[in-house]
Amino acid sequence: MRAPDFWHRDDFAARLATAVLAPLGTLYGATVRWKAAHAKPYRARVPVVCVGNISAGGTGKTPIAIAIADAIIVHGKNPFFLTRGYGGRLAGPVVVSKTHTAEDVGDEPLLLARKAPTVVARDRREGAILAIERGADVIVMDDGHQNFALHKDLSLVVVDGEHGFGNGHVLPAGPLREPALQGLARADAVIVTGDGNPALPAFDKPVLRAHVAPAATAEWKGMKVVAFAGIGRPEKLFRSLRELGVELVETVTFADHHPYTSRELSELKARAKDVRLVTTEKDYVRIAPADRDGIAFLPVTASIDPHDGLDRLLDSLNGPR
């Protein structure tokens, strides 16, 4: 799904659309509140760190989850990622292998599995059990702030610094999965990505800052490219390329998690006949290997500040269970 423009506008048409859809948003938020109040989460034998969000897509959650796994590894632990596998056909629980494709498990698990073992499971309880059987001593739950099947020992909410909570309304009236106040009340810390200082209603716990940036820089300067992306906020790729000194000949956007066809990719390659064709790593893993020739991706990494702030949060996992 591509995010509607009115989620981030404040003109008459946007306010009208929001007003019409607001009752549905109220109902949606109430269902999350009801689930949270009546849940009986399974407590795993190892700590569970949830890296989630309150807004739908585009916060940079996956590279931050990878950075957190890096920090856990430095602490001498063996983390496993646990994710639903959005867009994949497998319900799981299954450990992601090199033979899996985005069609099997979704795009994000393929990225996560490059850093640490990754379990895809729509039933998070069953996924946690499998991860522990395979040797996990910490589980990093990628997404799941609104999933209450599994007890979380540390809940981290990722918030986009530039867009914050959009128009402040719940789906479909706005980008929120639940009211911000409601979601933040269950968070142990907030990680703000990028620039900006979004309002965090009634939140008085740790706030960390994350920077998601290209892993490679100099080689891109002066390059002419056609860029395409099917992520929550495609403009992030385009802006990153411009900041690297890339000349964007054309930009093409698709819906988040878009499954690319050979025909679409052939058309993109034709449009980039004399320049380079570039996308995100998340898009790249959704492209069939046979169609990847002539397509490059811009790798990104996340760093979290203050680093000792993240260490203190992770140290809290060492207490009695």
* Domains, the chain, with CATH or none: 44-212+303-318 (3.40.50.300), 216-298 (3.40.50)
Most distant CA atoms of the chain, gap in Å = 61
pLDDT of 192: 94
Q: What is the pTM of this model?
A: 0.88
- Residues that constitute the known binding site: 55-62
**How far, rounded to the nearest angstrom, does the alpha carbon of residue 247 sit from its chain's CA centroid?**
27
**How far, rounded to the nearest angstrom, does the alpha carbon of residue 264 sit from its chain's CA centroid?**
25
Per residue in 192-218, pLDDT tens?
Answer: 998 888 999 999 999 999 988 888 777
Judge contact between 286 and 258, C-beta under 8 A. Answer: yes
Per residue in 23-60, pLDDT tens?
Answer: 999 999 999 999 999 999 999 999 999 999 998 876 77
Strands 207-214, 300-305: pairing kind: antiparallel
The residues, any chain, with a CB within 8 Å of residue 276's CB and separated by 6 or more, are: 223, 224, 225, 226, 296
* CA atoms of 107 and 245, how far apart (whole Å): 28
Q: Which of 95, 159, 98 is nearest to 133 (CA)?
A: 95
- Residues that constitute the known binding site for ATP: 55-62
Proportion of the chain above pLDDT 70, given as a percent: 98
Mean pLDDT of 251-257: 90
Q: Which of 218, 272, 222 is nearest to 249 (CA)?
A: 272
pLDDT of 4 strictly over 80: no
* CA atoms of 88 and 197, how far apart (whole Å): 35
pLDDT of 125: 95
pLDDT of 190 strictly over 60: yes
Averaged pLDDT of the chain: 90
Per residue in 140-156, pLDDT tens?
Answer: 999 889 999 999 999 99
pLDDT of 75: 87
pLDDT of 11: 82
